[in-house]
Amino acid sequence: MYSKSIQYIGCDDADMKLFESQYVTPEGMCYNSYLIIDDKIAVMDTVDPRKTDEWLKKLSVALNGRKPDYLVVQHMEPDHSGSISAFRNLYPEAVIVASAKALQFMPQFDEKLNVGNTMTVKDGDTLSLGHHTLSFITAPMVHWPEVIMTYCPEEEVLFSADGFGKFGVIDADPDDWACEARRYYFNICGKYGGPVSTVLKKVAGLSIKTICALHGPILDGERMEEAIRLYSIWSNYDIETEGVLIAHASIHGNTAKAAEKLAEILKKKGAKKVVVADLCRDDMAEVIEDAYRMNKLVVCASSYEGDVFPPMHMFLWKLGLKAYQNRTIGMVENGTWAPSAGRAMRALIEPMKNVTIVEPLVSLRSSMKESDIPQLEALADAMLA
């Protein structure tokens, strides 16, 4: 029970270790769903098909013999829409409330689904449940185009769809919302800073006491204020932490040694925070998160097949895909006969928005030698200038 009228009926999925088949989730995942009980009853979203049976049982207990009047579908990605068909089979009279695009997507995921009674809502539409009103806010590209959020003024609750979500079961990291919320945000919504910023402006005038996202804990009080503050920074691609991230992709460890040496030099020269990441072994989603978190990035990579070692290619390609911007980037390349990593990395970095590539490009031959230290010193000076 979250409030007298709103019940949490979501499901933890502690066994989910690779969310969306790409993000490691050591602390599992949760698919949040809520029930609003009034003269009319509304279910807020379904859950991933992995948890359909558990969710339907929770729903049935919470309904306590009543029947739902509405199923509000805020987002059609299967981790939230994956139990719509099962719901529909049990509750054929309920009205499915969603955006036009969501209703278009619905049968695409299940051709056997008889969508049945529906209500199409657009920005500003409202639905009265009796003593509670649901006010719909379109939130396209947070994180798909059909997304809506829902505000209930009587409870001062914002149902925020994927917004303000995080990795982990619902009570994972109770004292550190930001760590896994940041990794979730930049990897899943990072490309959509503009749309996130737009929806933050739309809801800024609302009196919100609680945010109920589709993943992660229910947010209120100071934790909610902090989440809103961070979302404002993240969606604007602003700097959260002054620091340098050094990301390396090293075949035999020699490029990694140069990256560590550069970290040592940067610290000696007064860099506030320096983090070294191994793109071949660390969780790349975590490295992407750190790239956005800090204002400066140095990429160090081996040359490979006249190009750049694939883990670095993947990293920079993903950053480009996720609209990485407003940052300063330095480069270290390594190669035995014809270093090509610098050229390849530059080609991936140059199209990024408002990114400054600092010189010199440090170019190593096979391994770092004493004679290479002045180049690393010069790069460190340029990064800190």
Interface ranges with ligand FEO (CB under 6 A): 75, 77, 79-80, 143, 162, 214-215
- For residue 117, the minimal CB distance to ligand FEO (Å) is 25
Burial class (CB in 10 A: 0-12, 13-18, 19+), 382: middle
Written as six digits, the tokens of 24 are 């490691």
Which lies closer to ligand FEO via its Cβ, residue 147 or residue 259? 147
Give the Cα separation of 120 and 128 in Å (integer): 15
CA angle 66, 135, 151 (to 5 degrees): 85
Q: Of the candidates 122, 115, 119, 121, which has an alpha carbon nearest to the alpha carbon of residue 84?
A: 115
Contacts of 38 (CB under 8 A, 6+ apart): 5, 129, 130, 131, 132
Give the Cα separation of 145 and 385 in Å (integer): 41
What count of residues does the chain have?
A: 385
Which lies closer to ligand FEO via its Cβ, residue 195 or residue 311? 195
Which lies closer to ligand FEO via its Cβ, residue 58 or residue 80? 80
Which lies closer to ligand FEO via its Cβ, residue 148 or residue 332? 148
- For residue 147, the minimal CB distance to ligand FEO (Å) is 8
CA angle 65, 71, 76 (to 5 degrees): 140
Which lies closer to ligand FEO via its Cβ, residue 216 or residue 342? 216
Do 342 and 365 touch, CB atoms closer than 8 A? no
Nearest residue to ligand FEO, scored by beta-carbon proximity: 77
- For residue 131, the minimal CB distance to ligand FEO (Å) is 30
- For residue 267, the minimal CB distance to ligand FEO (Å) is 39
- For residue 142, the minimal CB distance to ligand FEO (Å) is 9
- For residue 74, the minimal CB distance to ligand FEO (Å) is 10
- For residue 215, the minimal CB distance to ligand FEO (Å) is 6
Which lies closer to ligand FEO via its Cβ, residue 48 or residue 372? 48
Which lies closer to ligand FEO via its Cβ, residue 161 or residue 262? 161
Do 81 and 113 touch, CB atoms closer than 8 A? no
Q: Which residues pair with 23 in a beta bridge?
A: 19
Torsion angles phi and psi, residue 335, rounded to 5? -165, 150
| HEC sequence for 11-67 | EEECCCCEECCCEECCCCEEECCEEEECCCEEEECCCCHHHHHHHHHHHHHHHCCCC
- For residue 304, the minimal CB distance to ligand FEO (Å) is 34
Which lies closer to ligand FEO via its Cβ, residue 77 or residue 289? 77
Which lies closer to ligand FEO via its Cβ, residue 136 or residue 185? 185
- For residue 93, the minimal CB distance to ligand FEO (Å) is 27
What does the DSSP assignment read for 116-164? -SEEE--TT-EEE-SS-EEEEEE-TTSSSTT-EEEEETTTTEEE-TTTT
How many separate helices (H) and strands (E) can be counted in the chain?
12, 23
